[in-house]
Amino acid sequence: MTDYILGIDLGTATCKTAIFDTQGNRIAFAAREYPLYFPQPLHSEQDPLDWWQAVAGNLKDMLDSSGVDPKKIRCIGAGAQAWGHVFLDKAGNVLRPAITYQDLRATRQAEWMMHTLSDEKRFEYIGNPLKIDPTFSPCRLLWIKENEPEILAKTDRVLQPKDYINYMLTGKYATDSLSAAGLVNLMDNKYYPEYFDILGIPLRIMPDVHGISEVMGKITAGVSRLTGLGEGTPVVTGWMDTLCCSLGCGLVEHGRAFNYSGSSETICLASKDFAHAEGLVVGPVFDLFFIGGGASTSGYSLQWFRDTFGQAEQQIKARTPGLSAYQLFDRLAETVPPGSEGLIFLPYLSGERSPIWDPNARGVFIGITKRHTRAHFVRAILEGVAYSNRHICEIAEQASGIRVEGIRAAGGGAKSDTWNRIKADVLGKKYLKLKELEVGAAGAAMLAGMGAGIFKDQREASKQFVHVDEVIEPVMENHAAYDKFFTIYKELYPLLKDTFAKLQ
């Protein structure tokens, strides 16, 4: 009989779960959404119990509908948004809403860390001399220490979102080094007590660091009754969602690149050699180094536009089952020429990460004239995210010496052929659309397969799971037209940086 592996992808707005056979075929799938809360400016929070209810509900739905024998599920893996923070007491109760990766409240704490820790000390303690940003884990913990000391006093463990799901599944605490970046040294996977002394954060609240495909626990009897999973089914440590996506895209060889397009955006290349890239994240993954970064609000920018200005699309969607507002946006965007006739969008609705790392940055439409329509604004959003991707990709290529030929595209945004074509034209590179677009769940399942001994390593797992379905070639005439607008795009942030700070 066929064996199965199960992957959980806990995203910003949606939890997606999937059961795969060991050949990489998706057998069952379920998805549930949950809310995001903004209680104050710069704050972004979610209820961890919403995550858990989505996970448990998805698991039960899949097992009820698929006919898969739970005893044949060999292992489970999870990936989730990072970096976020769940605070638990000694009984495992949630002490406050989770702080999500989009949260920018810890600006002052980030400035203190940059002033206190030199480049050399940052590399010594966390393995990466990257500029410290308010989204980094230690900054949020410092904010809690200074603003909610009663929460820190009650905290027995602080977990990443994925680690919280694993705790709910197994009753065990564990994390991996990249999910805990900023707290764990990425080069040796260790906590440094001296670093925690400087921060004034108790080291005892940190979970142990495990390998990403290492079994960290087993499904409890209570979870078995709730979901239908077999008691004792192994669960691996898992990974942050971006890196599960990279594995699900087959980023297992030197020179490969991928672009995951969800609520946020990631573009990254794999290199056999370490290379410091200014403004980007560099970290060891398996036997390679990943070099890249991402926009905080890519798909979320479209969602914002839909919710704020997309009433017509919402009405059409309501009358036409199976047709989404985003498909209607694609149709609008296709009526506008490359460059949106001089309208440019900066996708900084929640500040920005790579490569500028500025929590004060704000979304901008510039170049508006009376000629511009809603269609131009939609296309400008798609192009603005593509410009961000090109900016990151060029820095990564220059630092690594790698010339990327093709970019593997996945995630919800990759379902849009319009957006894939825009990205291919803006970057002047092939976009490789994968057969399995739910690469977050697939990557988590691949880790589970490695943990169960089904695959000897990431390359064997990739051969089974990752297949290119379509190659989108860039139109070089469009690429040449985009060059002018991309140059303007890069000039805009330095011109507006001081203005953004004043608005804050």
Nearest to 351 by CA among 102, 111, 43, 108: 102
Q: Does pLDDT of 148 surpass 70?
A: yes
Q: Please tell me the number of Cα atoms within 13 Å of 120 on its side-chain side.
A: 0
CB neighbour list of residue 207: distance below 8 Å, 6 or more residues apart: 157, 159, 163, 173, 174, 175, 180
The band of 336, judged by pLDDT with boundaries at 50, 70 and 90, is very high
> What is the extent of the structural domain holding 122?
4-243
CB neighbour list of residue 288: distance below 8 Å, 6 or more residues apart: 252, 253, 254, 270, 271, 272
Q: What is the pLDDT of residue 129?
A: 61
Q: Does pLDDT of 318 surpass 70?
A: no
**Does 401 reside within a domain?**
no
Strands (E), 127-262: 157-159, 215-218, 234-236, 239-240, 257-261
Per DSSP bridges, beta strands 98-99 and 86-88 are unpaired
pTM of the entire predicted model: 0.86
**Does 92 reside within a domain?**
yes
**Does 148 reside within a domain?**
yes
Q: Does pLDDT of 276 surpass 90?
A: no
Contact 420, 472 (CB under 8 A): yes
User: Percentage of residues in the chain with pLDDT exceeding 70?
Assistant: 99
Other beta carbons less than 10 A from residue 308's beta carbon: 8
**Does 449 reside within a domain?**
no
Q: Does pLDDT of 103 surpass 80?
A: yes
Domain total in the chain: 1
**Does 501 reside within a domain?**
no
**Does 455 reside within a domain?**
no
The band of 136, judged by pLDDT with boundaries at 50, 70 and 90, is confident
Return the minimum-mean-pLDDT range out of 9-13, 313-317, 326-330, 493-497. Answer: 313-317
Return the minimum-mean-pLDDT range out of 101-110, 212-221, 486-495. Answer: 101-110
Nearest to 347 by CA among 410, 397, 305: 305
* Higher-pLDDT residue of 379, 325: 379
Integer distance in angstroms from the first to the last C-alpha of the chain?
A: 60
**Does 94 reside within a domain?**
yes
* Higher-pLDDT residue of 148, 359: 148
List the CATH number of the domain containing 169. Answer: 3.30.420.40
**Does 205 reside within a domain?**
yes
pLDDT digits (tens, 9 = 90+) for 151-163: 999 999 999 999 9
The band of 237, judged by pLDDT with boundaries at 50, 70 and 90, is very high
Locate all alpha helices (DSSP H) within 40-86, ordered by sequence: 48-66
pLDDT digits (tens, 9 = 90+) for 437-481: 899 999 999 999 999 999 999 999 999 999 999 999 999 999 999
